Amino acid sequence: MAGEITSAGIKFCYKAESTAGTKPTGAFTEIPDVISLPAMDSAPEALECTPLSETAWKRYVLGLKDPGSSVDIEANDTTAFRTAWSTMATAAATAKAASKAMWFEIKIPGRDSFYFTGEPADLGFAGASVNSVQTIHGYIVPNVISGFAAASSAG
């Protein structure tokens, strides 16, 4: 084995800031029944900076990455998921009213976690099809991508 990891055991968690502008410490709360998380690794834009004197090749500098307008969290459409999402959305609204952010953690067993802040949207109806498990999509509009850091305590 060359260090590959599996998605088994990955958790999606949240916690509101205690101090505005500071990532919360301690245990984050898991949102249960999540079955799919999106990539949080887009290619940066390349910003052209070719001077008029160049005659053969354009030049570029590294620009910003774009996480997209929303992060799509897919889950089994269970009562536990809907309750947890609603609780998280209420906590996010309370934090926002106090000028604090909601932090999200993608907890990867045996690795650092991936963190970002954002605002969750209300759940809708994801559709249905014959002979399938009912799933739902929860969307979060990202504000700040913090990146990888040590995992929070159990949660």
Burial class (CB within 10 angstroms; exposed 0-12, middle 13-18, buried 19+) of 117? buried
Per-residue confidence in pLDDT tens, the chain, 155 aa:
577 888 999 999 999 999 999 999 999 999 999 999 998 888 889 999 999 999 999 999 999 988 888 999 999 999 999 999 999 999 999 999 999 999 999 999 989 999 999 999 999 998 889 999 999 999 999 999 999 999 997 65
Contact assessment for residue 86 and residue 93, using Cβ atoms and an 8 Å cutoff = no
Identify the pLDDT of residue 1: 55
Of the candidates 141, 109, 95, the residue with the CA atom closest to the CA atom of residue 122: 141
pLDDT at 42: 84
Written as one letter, the residue type at 12 is F
Helix, strand or coil, per DSSP, at residue 15:
strand
What's 91's DSSP letter? H
φ, ψ of residue 34 in degrees (nearest 5): -70, 130
| pLDDT computed for residue 3 by the predictor | 78
Do 45 and 135 meet the contact criterion of CB atoms below 8 Å apart?
no
pLDDT on residue 154: 60
Q: Which H or E run includes 89?
A: helix 79-97
